[in-house]
Amino acid sequence: MMTPQDVLQTGTQRTIAPRTHPYSPKIDGTRTPRDERRRAQHNEVERRRRDKINNWIVQLSKIIPDCNADNSKTGASKGGILSKACDYIRELRQTNQRMQETFKEAERLQMDNELLRQQTRQIADPQTQDTAGATSGWTPGLQRPRRDTHFPICIFCCGCCYKSKCGICCKT
């Protein structure tokens, strides 16, 4: 989180732009009841808007880990709560990305395990192998399913599937 010194650098002074025309406050006697109703209605709408924003910030402070622990007697600042919320969202996105990568790896390992199970079954039960497949070294039951991929060659290693564009290497 940024410190106030980072936000308002000491070298730059903030200036207020001068008014282009002089301010002339209305005299209380010239306000009409219609103006009073409009001003009161506007104030009410603005108060409800601020209350909603404050309620959502309080909700965020309750959801974000370690946000309630920092509360002092006056409570955490709105900026601090929003900053921690942004940090937490970034952390969740990174965690989600790592989990997706882990899930893809687990799927690949499951596919490899199933292929090895098929090979083990065929080795253990020689009657399932036909003679042509056994002599050539290729057995029809050992083909991996095709992946949906737009890569023209195998992305995993040797490029052995360049012609079939299956995206799976037969040597892994």
Average pLDDT over residues 139-150: 53
Domains identified in the chain and CATH numbers: 33-123 (4.10.280.10)
Note the pLDDT of residue 19.
63
Q: Is the dihedral of CA 171, 150, 93, 79 positive or negative?
A: positive
Q: Say if residue 127's pLDDT is above 60.
A: yes
pLDDT, average across residues 48-63: 94
* pTM (2 d.p.): 0.48
Q: Which residue has the tokens 């029809």?
A: 140
pLDDT at 168: 60
Residue 132 has a pLDDT of 47
The more confident residue out of 87 and 3 is 87
Q: pLDDT exceeding 70 applies to what percent of the chain?
A: 52
Candidate ranges 28-32, 33-37, 48-52; pick with highest mean pLDDT: 48-52
